[in-house]
């Protein structure tokens, strides 16, 4: 029990997140050496496509549920039912979207059998949305271990499955798709959380209205926030070819593992939702400057050895990935601040503001991808990401400077202080 409590701190979340990242990296190292560049790119494309469809249909839903759980702690079952009903409807709508999205791609996925394609279409999005719903409940109670445990078990499943199938020499695009679907199911099972069944203290119509008003306000933010991080992979899959997609996929996986640092801190900050004393004191600012400084230090260490990282994670076939990784490492610094500021804007219920920031980033990213990906492939996608994250960074800097908080200055969010390494 003491171990669980220790893990449910900011440091514990980060440790579990990076333990999961370690498993992710092993999976990447195995797949890049077991399957072709084209097939690896298709596998990454599949994960991005599934998350993109889930986001398009449930964007902002889990964030609103988190905010409402924090507001109506004794009535979480009502909120859960609203989110679940919306999630089921979204999963049904996702079936034809997934089907045609795979067929129209320029990846190895369009070669899978009709049976596997239908299986993917019917079962791909549902476990992802249900997992998001239960993760929101876990976050609201500060139960981070359940979220991370589900992710770790899912990656362990993939690791064992890929190892066994490679040993049996039966890895194919169909097998990869089935492993992916089973992983989603495993993660969902371990993410399931009990909801409170207390009698309702508030009117069901009012809480339903609040959910959909919040959902509508935050929808643009939810979808565009993910467009910035995923449109590169998806648009490479539609506008370029499987080779460019594969070359881009390794640096992107490394980049996504790095973003687990600010994402973990953001998860912890979300548990403080509704606590004005925390967000309007130096406590919140300390986590922001720690996360930002940490990302800057990580990039300084990794940039000079980026060529060795690619060779270790993949092999010499992925030499073109080195420059892409270097560009994404710089983008990571700018992306970090957006992660860390999101919880503050959500706490202040500035849903429209969050949506505007995400929309600016998302639209810019899509337009630039349409221009540069057909000509420059993976290199164009990486450069576009860097530009989009830089815009997001500048916007958040301006908003922090304008935030009405007499106790804090802009430098308090960015520059480390002497006692910052002592976390409470």
Q: What percent of the chain has pLDDT over 90?
A: 20
Q: Which of 141, 423, 145, 406 is nearest to 289 (CA)?
A: 423
Name the residue ranges covered by the structural domains of the chain.
2-414
Q: Give the pLDDT of residue 1.
A: 41
Q: Give the pLDDT of residue 397.
A: 84
- State pLDDT tens for residues 351-399: 677 777 777 877 888 889 999 999 899 999 999 989 988 888 888 888 8
Q: Give the pLDDT of residue 221.
A: 63
Q: Which residue has the tokens 């503001």?
A: 353
- State pLDDT tens for residues 62-76: 677 777 766 666 566
Instruction: Judge whether residue 228 has pLDDT over 70.
Output: no
Instruction: Judge whether residue 162 has pLDDT over 90.
Output: no
Task: Judge residue 160's burial from the number of C-beta atoms within 10 Å of its C-beta, 0-12 exposed, 13-18 middle, 19 or more buried.
Answer: exposed
- State pLDDT tens for residues 21-74: 788 888 888 888 888 888 888 888 999 899 888 888 877 676 777 777 666 665
SS3 call for 263: helix
Q: Which of 183, 193, 185, 180 is nearest to 154 (CA)?
A: 183
CA–CA distance, 198 with 345 (Å, rounded to integer): 30
Q: What percent of the chain has pLDDT over 70?
A: 81
SS3 call for 319: coil
Instruction: Judge whether residue 238 has pLDDT over 60.
Output: yes
Mean pLDDT (the chain, rounded): 81
Give this prediction's pTM.
0.75
Helices and strands per DSSP (H, E), number in the chain: 19, 0
Q: Give the pLDDT of residue 218.
A: 63
What Cα–Cα distance (Å) separates residue 130 from each residue in 61, 72, 84, 91? 11, 20, 7, 9
Taking the CA atoms of residue 74, residue 80, residue 82 and residue 88 in that order, the dihedral angle to the nearest 10 degrees is -170
Instruction: Judge whether residue 5 has pLDDT over 60.
Output: no
Q: Which residue has the higher pLDDT, 19 or 321?
A: 321
């Amino acid at each position: 029990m003491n171990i669980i409590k220790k893990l449910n701190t900011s440091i514990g979340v980060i440790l579990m997140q990076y333990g999961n990242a370690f498993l992710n990296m092993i999976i990447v190292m195995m797949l890049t050496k077991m399957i072709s560049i084209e097939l690896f790119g298709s596998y990454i494309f599949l994960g991005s496509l599934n998350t993109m469809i889930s986001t398009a249909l449930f964007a902002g839903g889990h964030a609103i549920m988190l905010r409402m759980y924090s507001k109506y702690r004794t009535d979480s079952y009502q909120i859960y039912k609203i989110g679940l009903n919306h999630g089921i409807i979204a999963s049904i709508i996702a079936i034809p979207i997934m089907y045609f999205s795979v067929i129209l791609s320029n990846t190895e996925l369009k070669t899978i059998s009709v049976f596997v394609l239908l299986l993917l279409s019917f079962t791909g999005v549902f476990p992802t949305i249900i997992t998001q719903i239960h993760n929101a409940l876990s976050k609201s109670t500060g139960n981070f271990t359940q979220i991370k445990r589900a992710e770790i078990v899912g990656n362990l499943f993939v690791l064992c499955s890929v190892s066994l199938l490679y040993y049996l020499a039966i890895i194919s695009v169909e097998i990869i798709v089935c492993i992916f679907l089973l992983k989603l199911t495993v993660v969902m099972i371990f993410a399931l959380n009990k909801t409170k069944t207390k009698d309702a203290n508030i009117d069901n119509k009012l809480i339903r209205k609040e959910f959909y008003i919040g959902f509508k306000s935050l929808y643009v933010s939810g979808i565009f926030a993910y467009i910035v991080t995923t449109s590169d992979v998806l648009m490479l899959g539609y506008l370029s070819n499987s080779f460019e997609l594969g070359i881009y996929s390794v640096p992107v996986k490394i980049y996504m593992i790095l973003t687990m640092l600010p994402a973990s801190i953001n998860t912890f900050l979300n548990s403080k939702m509704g606590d004005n004393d925390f967000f309007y004191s130096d406590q919140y600012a300390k986590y922001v400057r720690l996360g930002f400084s940490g990302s800057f230090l990580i990039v300084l260490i990794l940039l000079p050895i980026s060529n060795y990282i690619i060779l270790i994670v993949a092999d010499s076939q992925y030499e073109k990935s080195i420059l892409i990784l270097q560009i994404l490492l710089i983008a990571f610094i700018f992306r970090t601040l957006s992660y860390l500021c999101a919880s503050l804007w959500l706490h202040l219920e500035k849903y429209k503001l969050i949506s505007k920031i995400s929309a600016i980033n998302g639209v810019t990213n899509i337009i630039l991808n349409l221009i540069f990906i057909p000509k420059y492939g993976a290199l164009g996608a990486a450069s576009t990401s860097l530009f989009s994250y830089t815009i997001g960074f500048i916007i958040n800097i301006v908003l922090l400077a304008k935030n009405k908080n007499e106790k804090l200055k802009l430098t308090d969010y960015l520059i480390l202080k002497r006692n910052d390494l002592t976390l409470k």
